[in-house]
């Protein structure tokens, strides 16, 4: 079994488990830092390991365009190319292209040139690549071929993300196309496997769509699970809808997915989102929040009655000689003052971002460790109720 459930919470759908991959076991629930282009921004891989990162997420679309999946394959796969010996999860590239489409529409609305020219067809998604204007098409088959070349441990199918605000008919068509594309990906994955072009242990995950419409979420979950994937990703969330709508979408999907299969929630999220999604049966998460917030000077700080984000750029920290957080054992908190980090950030020094990235990622990693421990010790319900007092 690729996924082994080791403990279930008695009062919710939360579970602790182990995802067995070709590059090591991953203890769940788990947070995956986003390494879009084969690197988690401003962090070295040895640092990630030391901080407790188990698995990273890389972006199929960006690595396909630069430096190219063929070069990465020639280098021995993404693990060797980026010198990361742990598990790697790759998305399909679909969300990025649909995001480009949204940006392109904004440009069109403001009378600027639509340089991406994104078009969704049954064959796949066609677009113009960045400033070069080169025409490209990403098909379901090509997406899985690229991920095969990357050699990631978890491969995602190409799906259609209908965008926000949600529209029923548009979402229904996207759900139906996502199912058709998923069938094509499964067939291509099997073909590559027979030709021994799939790395041993490489897993294929289906994606559930359906926006905030319960009947479409149910339809997507039933159709995708019927195809028999190694695991599932719930997509189309955290894109502008309320947290309650997100939770409702997860609640609708999970009962129609096999209990013994791994579940990833794409693009989520805040600490609150993660705790709530774990309670609803999700096993892993990826999000740019901790690293992106670090680049904007935002720091996650635990407090007795909850946690907050602190803006280190504010002038009130100019002469504050206290550490970011006295109980944190990260390098920044153990060695530097708020005043010094404020000085670095205001001076545009790269070290500020590196220090804050470590601090924020470790906050998230400690959160996941607390969640796992609470599930194992049957204390998750109390943790969920008293979430504002994490003591991280």
Three-state secondary-structure class, residue 178: helix
User: Among 16, 44, 11, which Cα is nearest to 30's?
Assistant: 16
Instruction: Please tell me the distance from the alpha carbon of residue 297 to that of residue 291, in angstroms, as a whole number.
Output: 10
CA distances from 143 to 80, 95, 174, 383 (A): 20, 12, 17, 40
Confirm whether 283 is a catalytic residue.
no
DSSP string, 79-107: HHHHT--S-EEE--SHHHHHHHHHHHHHH
- Which residues sit opposite 3 in a β-bridge? 19
Catalytic residue among 9, 230, 283, 286: 286
SS (H, E, C) 21-47: ECCEEEEECEEEEECCCCCCCCCCHHH
- What is the CA angle 160-185-209, rounded to 5? 30
Of the candidates 69, 91, 153, 159, the residue annotated as catalytic is 91
Give Dmax (Cα) for the chain: 64
> CA-CA distance, 392 to 307, in Å (whole number)?
9
| Known catalytic membership, residue 320 | no
Q: Provide the token pair at 200.
A: 């041993």
Q: Give the residue numbers annotated as catalytic, written as ranges.
A: 91, 286
């Amino acid at each position: 079994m690729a996924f082994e459930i080791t403990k279930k919470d008695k009062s919710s759908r939360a579970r602790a488990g182990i995802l067995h991959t070709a590059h090591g076991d991953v203890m769940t629930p788990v947070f995956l830092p986003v390494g879009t282009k084969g690197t988690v921004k401003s962090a070295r891989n040895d640092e990630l390991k030391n901080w407790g990162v188990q698995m990273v997420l890389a972006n199929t679309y960006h690595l396909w365009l630069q430096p190219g999946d063929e070069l990465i394959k020639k280098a021995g796969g993404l693990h060797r190319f980026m010198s990361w010996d742990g598990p790697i999860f790759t998305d399909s590239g679909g969300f990025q292209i649909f995001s480009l489409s949204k940006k392109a529409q904004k440009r069109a609305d403001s009378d600027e040139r639509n340089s991406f020219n994104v078009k969704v067809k049954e064959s796949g998604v066609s677009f113009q690549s960045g400033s070069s204007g080169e025409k490209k098409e990403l098909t379901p088959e090509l997406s899985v071929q690229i991920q095969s070349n990357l050699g990631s441990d978890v491969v995602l199918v190409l799906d259609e993300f209908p965008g926000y605000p949600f529209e029923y008919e548009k979402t229904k068509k996207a759900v139906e196309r996502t199912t058709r594309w998923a069938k094509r990906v499964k067939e291509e994955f099997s073909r590559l496997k027979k030709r021994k072009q799939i790395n041993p242990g490489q897993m294929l995950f289906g994606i559930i769509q359906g926006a905030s419409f319960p009947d479409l979420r149910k339809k997507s979950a039933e159709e995708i699970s019927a195809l028999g994937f190694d695991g599932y990703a719930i997509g189309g969330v955290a894109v502008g809808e309320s947290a309650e709508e997100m939770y409702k979408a997860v609640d609708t999907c999970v009962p129609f997915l096999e209990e013994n299969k791994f579940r990833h929630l794409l693009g989520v999220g805040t600490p609150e989102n993660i705790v709530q999604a774990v309670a609803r049966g999700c096993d892993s998460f990826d999000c740019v929040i901790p690293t992106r917030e670090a680049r904007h000077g935002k720091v996650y700080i635990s407090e007795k009655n909850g946690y907050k984000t602190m803006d280190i750029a504010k002038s009130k920290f100019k002469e504050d000689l206290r550490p970011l957080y006295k109980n944190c054992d990260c390098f920044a908190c153990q060695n530097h003052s708020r005043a010094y980090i404020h000085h670095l950030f205001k001076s545009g020094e790269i070290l500020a971002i590196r220090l804050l990235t470590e601090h924020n990622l470790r906050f998230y990693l400690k959160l996941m460790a607390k969640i796992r421990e609470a599930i194992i010790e049957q204390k998750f319900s109390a943790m969920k109720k008293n979430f504002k007092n994490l003591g991280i």
